[in-house]
Chains A and B, each alone.
Chain A
Amino acid sequence: MKDNYLKQAWLVLLLALCFGGVLAGVEHSLKGRIDENKKADTLGQIPNLVPGAVSASFSNGVYRAVTQNGDHAGWVLLVTGQGFADKVELLLGLNADASQITGVYILDQKETPGLGNKIVEDEWRAQFAGKSTQQPLEIVKRKAEKDNEIEAVTGATISSETVKDMVNRAAADFRRQLASGGF
């Protein structure tokens, strides 16, 4: 009986062994490159989020961004929140003492195409850079006048509010942690 099974399945077994070997070889030769890509995906944004930074180290849930000669340039936080349609994931850049926002980058969102998804556009996100974290930001439906005002994406007040709330919450939490010597 056993002999009979083998006679039937030897091809499958042989192929499985060969394919397994091939896949192991492919994985071995490409793994380094793929991991590099994944890391670069987040780290590649660091120079845009914290001016002057070239790399960052990850610890306690935040990226600590450093400049070319190793000086501490700022922080990058990964923030998630509920948007209009689905979860929004963004990176928030802060300067070294977390007193100022240096940049915002939307990693993932599924907001309404044509309206809410305009939160990913450079022009809109650029409004956040340079804002102080001393007072909470506000969304306004006209041209921003005061220092803490952000102009809403036209027709997408809820998506704009989501990003603003996420930024406010994350910045306030992080400042508190930083003040209590958390980092």
Chain B
Amino acid sequence: MTEKGPTPLERFINGILPENPVYRQVLGMCPTLAVTNGMKAAMTMAAAVAFVLVCANILTSLIRNLLKPHLRILVFTLTIATFVTVADRIIAAYMYDMSKQLGPYIPLIIVNCIIICRCEVCASKQNVLTAATDALGQSLGFALALASIASVREILGSGSWFGIEVMPAGWPDWVVMVLPPGAFLTLGLLLGAANWIGELAARRRTTQGVA
């Protein structure tokens, strides 16, 4: 298998912003919408996804030459499900309150399409180093996206950040922001802002290229 395409470092950087899983690929919408009403929950989710993604990518990359094409999805799912269950148990054992708050969303990482996408697109074709850096970059990108949405929602909706009061005492909580509609509104507006910034940057590049 030839190993052309982006170098491991490029893959790492790509995952963070240029190919951000949420803002560019629009993958993993379920946790993005469901657990971003507070920073604590969002960061726990991001950490769990990072753990599963890195482990699954490394393992898939290790066994990539043994994979039968028509059984590969089965193997990916099996691998992912195992690591998700491990993550779920660890959170239930050491962060019980968080586990209760996140409820079904930790087990639901199994169907998070970011992970199976990276297994399919990268890990099943690249060496371990590339797969690991790719997973780290994508995890970081996912964490950044969750952090941006959760910051907006928690600051407006609860007047706090990581549970610490940041707004002045008289701040009226925008209850709508911690409810599901707030997730859709925030994601939509931030997605629009991300596209707008991307477009501005692209325009600046082309005008510079001409001049």
Q: What is the interface of chain A, defined by CB distance below 8 A to chain B?
A: 8-9, 11-12, 15-16, 19, 22-23, 26-27, 30, 33-34, 37-38, 40-41, 113-114
Give the residues in chain A near B179, CB-CB below 8 Å: 113
Contact string against A for B residues 175-186, beta-carbon threshold 8 Å, 1 for contact and 0 otherwise: 100110000000
* Bound Cα distance from A30 to B95, whole angstroms: 12
Given contacts A27-B89, A33-B94, A37-B93, 8 further A-B contacts (CB under 8 A): A8-B71, A11-B63, A11-B66, A11-B68, A12-B74, A23-B85, A30-B90, A33-B93
Contact string against A for B residues 146-178, beta-carbon threshold 8 Å, 1 for contact and 0 otherwise: 000000000000000000000000000101001
Given A11-B66, A114-B173; A41-B82 close (CB under 8 Å) = no
* Bound Cα distance from A34 to B178, whole angstroms: 29
27 pairs, CB–CB < 8 Å, chain A vs chain B: A8-B71, A11-B63, A11-B66, A11-B67, A12-B74, A15-B78, A16-B78, A19-B78, A19-B79, A19-B82, A22-B82, A22-B86, A26-B86, A26-B89, A26-B90, A27-B89, A30-B90, A33-B94, A34-B89, A34-B92, A34-B93, A37-B92, A38-B96, A40-B96, A41-B96, A113-B175, A113-B179
* Bound Cα distance from A30 to B71, whole angstroms: 32
* Bound Cα distance from A113 to B94, whole angstroms: 29
Give the residues in chain B near A26, CB-CB below 8 Å: 85-86, 89-90
* Bound Cα distance from A41 to B101, whole angstroms: 13
Contact string against A for B residues 51-93, beta-carbon threshold 8 Å, 1 for contact and 0 otherwise: 0000000000001001110010011001101100110011011
* Bound Cα distance from A22 to B66, whole angstroms: 21
Give the residues in chain A near B175, CB-CB below 8 Å: 113-114
Give the residues in chain B near A40, CB-CB below 8 Å: 96
Query: Are B92 and A30 in contact, CB atoms less than 8 angstroms apart?
Result: yes
* Bound Cα distance from A23 to B66, whole angstroms: 23
Give the residues in chain B near A34, CB-CB below 8 Å: 89, 92-93, 96
Closest 3 CB pairs of A and B: A37-B96, A19-B82, A114-B175
